[in-house]
Structures are given as structure tokens and as C-alpha cells.
């Protein structure tokens, strides 16, 4: 039995989906424990691309069980669309293979309306650049103890009542503060009622399922969404998402206390960020364009162009401190091929000092200056290389420099989007 967790170490989109898909071979069960359909996890197998927003990235393996934990916020409409899309690709999703915790909070149409109205009302630098999927407002209702949970779908009268109570406040905000049309109670109810019949068969006691797997000595793989710098507490607040993305949240968000034998931090070989907020190593120049174009850096959820920059070891040190990785999966190394010199940020200059971890005051990340170390690049296309020994010397040195700075071993290198474009280092 070997339990594993895969998490994003940067600002999301590190390639977690691909890594989870690969590691699923060694697992019995795959569990999402936070976030919602703000996530977009891309899997490419034999040239075919799948983008998953809610369903765990283990779903392409027909013999594995996938679970959506209580810490996730689930949009019922997106869930149904996702199973339909997978079904159309010949992947049939049954309640034997996929379950949703009864404690999972549901994203309602008014959460999305509020998310979008708030963003639209903010100007310039104040915008967070959310995905507009209602994530923040749904987590707010959970904390305010007025949320609607998946298990409530078994009692539609309760749902009707909860919608009615929630709308008193939401409509007041939408109308008075944001000048929007109010949301109609009956319409929301009918929309949810229509989807309930499809969702109810998937409801389960997720804690119990994980417990049974553990008692039978089966391996469980926990799939993180977003990245450490988007964590609600530890990220670049307020430019963050609304859940804890650190590995410590997996137990709470899945409903089972686990010890992990493998903690896999996914590190993109450079840095990207989608949405607003400070990004010290951002390269709004030819280097950033190289990464953006060669890495096809467009958001998997919103299609927005991702901002690109050099690898930031300061935020990675923070990810190590907060999440305790036992190993690193290094992705998109192929994208750096062709650059003469590759920079890595080893520290920040901040208020006349050099610091090795991000400063903690709000917006202080906007006031740091990166300190770089230059490493020689390589010209060879590495996207079809299958083993470590065949890698160009300078690519090996880049990987070794990351290991040295973080004192963590790189166990897997990804050199292209496909499952096959992966080098395991034993």
C-alpha cells in the first residue's frame, strides 16, 4: 500500500492532470479534495486530449474508482456536461466508478452571477481575474453555513427552502449593489430539480469508501487542484482562489486522515500565472513569448493567455515548507529547448535584504526584485527522449540545479503532453 498526493507548487497549470493520469496506474482510488471547475486538468493519451474540470484525472483508467470529496465545490451542470462528454468519447461513467460526497457543496446559478458581477464592478488592479465559475461565493456560503450540499438533493423541499433563504441576500446584492437582474427562485429550483435525478445515484459516503480501501490495503491517490501560490491562506492574497491548496487540506477535504508515502510536487520548468496578481519572475518579453507559444500557455478553463516567466525557486521553497514533497515531477522541460541561457530565481531583494522565502505582508510580492542565477540552455528537441541518459548535458544540469536548491529529488520528467512523453528516474 502506498498512498500518494499530487499537488501544484506554483500558480496552477503545472501539469497535475498528466501526472495524476500516469500515477493512477499505481493506485486503486483517485480523490479530488478541494477546488471546483475553476480547475482544468489536461490529459493526452495516444494523441487524444481530455480536459477535466471536476472529475478526477484517474477516470481514463477503466478499472479505477474516482471520488469527489466534501472539500470540492461542485457545479451540477458542469458535472453532467463532463460525464456526457466523456460518455461521447466512449468512457462510460457509472456510480460504481465515480462517487460524490454527500457533504460536497453545490455551486448554484446565483454564485456564478455574484462572482461575475463582483469582478465586473471592480476596476483595474482590484480585479482578481477569477474564472467566474462561482467558486468564491460558493465557499463563502459554506462558511456562512447557508450552503446547499449534494446530499440535500435527496430532499428537494429542503433545497427549495435553502434557495429561497439564500436569495434574500443574493438578490439584494445583485440588484442594489451591482445593478443586475435578480435571480428567479422558481427558475433556480427547476434547474436544480432537473439535474438532481442525474446526480443522486452518484452520492455516497466518500469517507467510508476511502476507509474501506485503506483497510483492504489499497493505494489511494489524492489529486490537488490549483497551486500553492493560489492557496487562500498561503498564496499571494488577495489574488488567490478560495480554498486551501496545500497538501494538509487533503484529509479535511476527502474526509479521511491519511499518511502519504509519496508526496509529489508538480513543478513546471518555468512559471505561469493566469489572472491578476504579483508575479516577480514574469517576462513580458521575447523569453515570455517563447514559453507562451512553445508551451501553448492558454488557460484550460477560460482560454485566457497565461503570463509566463522564469522558474522561481523562492515560491518553490515555500511549497516545500508548506507541503512536504518527497519528490518532484518536473513538467514542460521541452518548452525551454532552444533558449541560449535559462534563468532561475534563487532569492528576492526586498527592502534592501535578500530573502529566500516570500514576504508575508499583503501585496509585498509586488515589491520584490528577483535575484537570478544563469544556466546554459540546450538546442536539442527533447520531446521524444525516453531516458535520462539521453538528455542533453545542460538539460541534466538544469534538473540537478533544481534538486540542489530545493534538496528534493526529481523522480519524473515530462517532455511533452502525451502520457508517453515521460521519463521516470529511479
The residues that are catalytic are 13, 41
- Is residue 269 within 8 A of residue 423, CB to CB? The reply is no
x/- contact string, 77-116, with ligand IMO (CB under 6 A)?
Answer: ----------------------------------------
Q: Cis (ω within 30 of 0) for the bond into 238? A: yes
Contact indicator for 345, 314 with CB cutoff of 8 Å = yes
Taking the least distance from each CB to ligand GDP, the nearer of 295 and 358 is 295
CB of 42 to ligand GDP, least distance (A): 3
Task: Considering only the stretches 12-20, 78-86, 150-158, 387-395, report the one whose residues sit in contact with ligand GDP under the rule CB under 6 A.
Answer: 12-20
C-alpha of 300 from chain center: 11
**Rounded Cα gap, residues 332 and 308, in angstroms:** 13
* Nearest CB to Mg ion, comparing residues 249 and 331: 331
Rule CB under 6 A: say whether 417 interacts with ligand IMO.
Answer: no
- What is the pattern of x (binds ligand IMO, CB under 6 A) and - over residues 24-63? --------------xxxx----------------------
**Cα within 13 Å of Cα(356), Cβ side:** 5
Candidate residues 4, 7, 13, 385; the one interacting with Mg ion per rule CB under 5 A:
13
Helix (H, G, I), strand (E, B), or coil: what is residue 239?
A: coil
Least distance in Å: CB of 221 to Mg ion? 18
Q: CA quadruple 279, 75, 143, 176: dihedral positive or negative?
A: positive
> Is 141 or 297 the residue whose CB approaches ligand GDP more closely?
297
String of b and e for 126-145 (b: at least 16 CB within 10 Å)?
Answer: ebbebbbbbbbbbbebbeee
Sequence length of the chain is: 426
Binding mask 40-79 for Mg ion (x = CB under 5 A): x---------------------------------------
Residue ranges in 277-336 that form contacts with Mg ion under rule CB under 5 A: 300
Closer residue to ligand IMO, CB minimum distance, 128 or 355: 128
Residues 164-193 that bind ligand GDP (CB under 6 A): none
- The three cell numbers of residue 50 are 481530455
Return the number of other C-beta atoms located less than 10 Å from residue 341's C-beta: 10
Strands 48-52 and 307-309 come out as unpaired
Applying CB under 6 A, the span of 38-46, 67-75, 171-179, 312-320 interacting with ligand GDP comes to 38-46
What is the rounded CA–CA span in Å between residue 266 and residue 50? Answer: 19
> Minimum CB separation from Mg ion for residue 40, in Å?
4
| Cell representation of residue 214 | 485503506
> Minimum Å distance from CB 224 to ligand GDP?
9
Site string for ligand IMO, 114-153 (x = CB under 6 A): --------------xxxx-x-xx-----------------
Cell numbers representing residue 410 in the block: 526529481
Out of 34, 57, 171, 242, name the contact with ligand IMO by CB under 6 A. 242
Q: Does residue number 21 form part of the binding site for ligand GDP (CB under 6 A)?
A: no
CA distance 6 to 371: 29
CA atoms within 13 A of residue 225's CA, in its CB half-sphere: 33
Q: With the C-alpha atoms ordered 13, 226, 344, 324, is the resulting torsion angle positive or negative? A: negative
- The nearer residue to ligand GDP, 8 or 255, going by C-beta atoms, is 8
Cell digits of residue 43:
490529459
Applying the rule CB under 6 A, the residues between 268 and 327 that interact with ligand GDP are 295, 300
> Strand 203-204 vs strand 307-309: parallel, antiparallel, or unpaired?
unpaired
Which residues are near Mg ion by CB under 5 A? 13, 40, 300
Which residues are near ligand IMO by CB under 6 A? 8, 11-13, 38-41, 128-131, 133, 135-136, 225-227, 230, 241-242, 274-275, 300
Which residues are near ligand GDP by CB under 6 A? 8, 12-18, 40-42, 44, 295, 300, 331-332, 334-335, 414-417
Amino acid at each position: 500500500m502506498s498512498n500518494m498526493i499530487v499537488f501544484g507548487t506554483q500558480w496552477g497549470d503545472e501539469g497535475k492532470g498528466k501526472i495524476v493520469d500516469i500515477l493512477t496506474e499505481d493506485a486503486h482510488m483517485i480523490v479530488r479534495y478541494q477546488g471546483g471547475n475553476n480547475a482544468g486538468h489536461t490529459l493526452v493519451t495516444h494523441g487524444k486530449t481530455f480536459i477535466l474540470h471536476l472529475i478526477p484525472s484517474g477516470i481514463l483508467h477503466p478499472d479505477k474508482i474516482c471520488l469527489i470529496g466534501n472539500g470540492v465545490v461542485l457545479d451540477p451542470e458542469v458535472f453532467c456536461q463532463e460525464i456526457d462528454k466523456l460518455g461521447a468519447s466512449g468512457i462510460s461513467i457509472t456510480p460504481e466508478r465515480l462517487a460524490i460526497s454527500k457533504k460536497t457543496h453545490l455551486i448554484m446559478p446565483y454564485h456564478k452571477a455574484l462572482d461575475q458581477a463582483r469582478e465586473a464592478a471592480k476596476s483595474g488592479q482590484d480585479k482578481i481575474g477569477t474564472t467566474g465559475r462561482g467558486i468564491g461565493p460558493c465557499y463563502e456560503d459554506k462558511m456562512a453555513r447557508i450552503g446547499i450540499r449534494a446530499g440535500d438533493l435527496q430532499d428537494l423541499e429542503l433545497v427549495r427552502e435553502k434557495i429561497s433563504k439564500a436569495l434574500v441576500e443574493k438578490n439584494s446584492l445583485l440588484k442594489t449593489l451591482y445593478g443586475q437582474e435578480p435571480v428567479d427562485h422558481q427558475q433556480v429550483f427547476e434547474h436544480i430539480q432537473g439535474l438532481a435525478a442525474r446526480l443522486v445515484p452518484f452520492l455516497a459516503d466518500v469517507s467510508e469508501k476511502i476507509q474501506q480501501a485503506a483497510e483492504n490495503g489499497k493505494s489511494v491517490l489524492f489529486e490537488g487542484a490549483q497551486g500553492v501560490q493560489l492557496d487562500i491562506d498561503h498564496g499571494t492574497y488577495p489574488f488567490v482562489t478560495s480554498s486551501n491548496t496545500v497538501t494538509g487540506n487533503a484529509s479535511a477535504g476527502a474526509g479521511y486522515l491519511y499518511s502519504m508515502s509519496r508526496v509529489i510536487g508538480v513543478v513546471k520548468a518555468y512559471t505561469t500565472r493566469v489572472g491578476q496578481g504579483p508575479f516577480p519572475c514574469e517576462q513580458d518579453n521575447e523569453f515570455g513569448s517563447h514559453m507562451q507559444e512553445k508551451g501553448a500557455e492558454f488557460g484550460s478553463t477560460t482560454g485566457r493567455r497565461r503570463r509566463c516567466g522564469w522558474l522561481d525557486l523562492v515560491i518553490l521553497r515555500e511549497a516545500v515548507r508548506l507541503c512536504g514533497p518527497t519528490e518532484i515531477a518536473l513538467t514542460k522541460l521541452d518548452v525551454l529547448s532552444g533558449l541560449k541561457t535559462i534563468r532561475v530565481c534563487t532569492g528576492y531583494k526586498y527592502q534592501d535584504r535578500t530573502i529566500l522565502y516570500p514576504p508575508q505582508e499583503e501585496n509585498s510580492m509586488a515589491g520584490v526584485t528577483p535575484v537570478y542565477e544563469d544556466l546554459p540552455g540546450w538546442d536539442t528537441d527533447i520531446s521524444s527522449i525516453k531516458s535520462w541518459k539521453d538528455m542533453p548535458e545542460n538539460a541534466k544540469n538544469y534538473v540537478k540545479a533544481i534538486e540542489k536548491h530545493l534538496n528534493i529529488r526529481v523522480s519524473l520528467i515530462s517532455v511533452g503532453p502525451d502520457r508517453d512523453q515521460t521519463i521516470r528516474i529511479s
